[in-house]
Amino acid sequence: MDVETHKTGKGVEIRIRTSKKVALVVKTSKEERIYLPDTSGNDKTYYVENTAGLQKTAEGYAVLHQGDLQDLKVLS
């Protein structure tokens, strides 16, 4: 498993290269977000106000996290 992060003008793009289904925990200075993989045709996050979730890619998953990033953890 390999994780890459890139700052963009809209936030932090996080790419996870894996063949497993994973979830992503992102910690910021103010909160913690849990991004879940697409399981029913809709990308999901644990939080209702933000429906962005992990999008399946050819190599694994990706998400654009809006806000700062202090720490992240991939759960498999």
Report the pLDDT averaged over residues 52-62.
Answer: 88
45 CB-near residues (< 8 Å, 6+ apart)? 33, 34, 35, 36, 51, 52, 53
Count how many domains the chain has. Answer: 1
- Angle, alpha carbons 36-46-28 (nearest 5°): 95
Considering the entire predicted model, what is its pTM?
0.81
Question: To which residue do tokens 């029913």 refer?
Answer: 40
Q: Which domain holds residue 20?
A: 2-75
Closest CA to 23 of 75, 66, 65, 60: 75
Report the pLDDT averaged over residues 19-27.
Answer: 92
Is residue 48's pLDDT more than 90? no
